[in-house]
Amino acid sequence: MTFLEIILLAVGLCFDTLAVSLIGGACISKVTIWKRAKILLSFALFQGGFTFIGWALGTGVSQYIERYDHWVAFALLAYIGGKMIIESFSKKQDERVDLLNTKQLVIASIATSIDALAVGISLAMVGLAIGRILYSVLIIAIVTALAAEIGLRGGAKLGKVLGKKADLIGGIILFAIGVKILVEHLMAASAATAILL
């Protein structure tokens, strides 16, 4: 994966964090620098950590499904992206979140990071090496922290502008990356077959 692809993947993953931070930011009048750092760190660590855990799990099984890895990666990313796109059209109203409450912060961080687990598995399926996954996890954590910061600062104002569009944009990005992985692997397989013939 290129640097741009990793950035796009990170952006796609962090839209849930952005949405929750926007909602949380609307509920918080004043945040000290330490509380802000705690919020950003929580979102970043869970998002990056779940991506790595997913990759580690995927690495253990990738040797058994190499012939189907690109389909698995596509299916996982398409599922996550599709779910986000569908949720973007839901009429259900988001609940307010108190991100200054440690318990609610951890729950919000986990909830917005579940998709990262599946993305990590898909990265293992496409053979991402340990050095590259650590690099990717770092970028994902940084982008997630930035998204949380934007959300906290934007609060209700940005929440009204973006609303469910954040899920739609994130879903489209994840789905597009899944399609790209599938197309690249199918083209590589076709090229290899043509060479053998």
From CA 77, how far away is CA 68, in angstroms rounded?
Answer: 14
pTM exceeds cut of 0.75: no
pLDDT digits (tens, 9 = 90+) for 44-53: 999 999 999 9
Degrees to nearest 5, angle at CA 169 with 157 and 17:
60
Domain count of the chain? Answer: 1
What are the tokens at 118?
């599946």
CB neighbour list of residue 28: distance below 8 Å, 6 or more residues apart: 98, 99, 100, 152, 155
Phi, psi of 97 (to 5 degrees): -125, 130
H-assigned helices in 63-129: 69-88, 102-111, 114-125
86-100: per-residue pLDDT in tens? 877 775 544 455 788
Q: How confident is the model at residue 66 (pLDDT cuts 50, 70, 90)?
A: low
pLDDT, tens digit (0-9, with 9 covering 90-100), for 150-164: 888 887 565 456 555
Cβ atoms of 100 and 31 closer than 8 Å:
yes
Question: What separation, in Å, do the N-terminal and C-terminal C-alpha atoms of the chain show?
Answer: 29
pLDDT, residue 160, reads: 56
Main-chain dihedrals φ then ψ at residue 30, nearest 5 degrees: -135, 135
Give the type of residue at 34.
Answer: W
With cut-offs at 50, 70 and 90, classify the pLDDT of residue 135: very high
Residue 95 has a pLDDT of 47
Helix (H, G, I), strand (E, B), or coil: what is residue 28? coil
Q: Which domain holds residue 155?
A: 3-90+98-196
Q: How many CA atoms lie within 13 A of 95 on its CB side?
A: 5
pLDDT at 154: 81
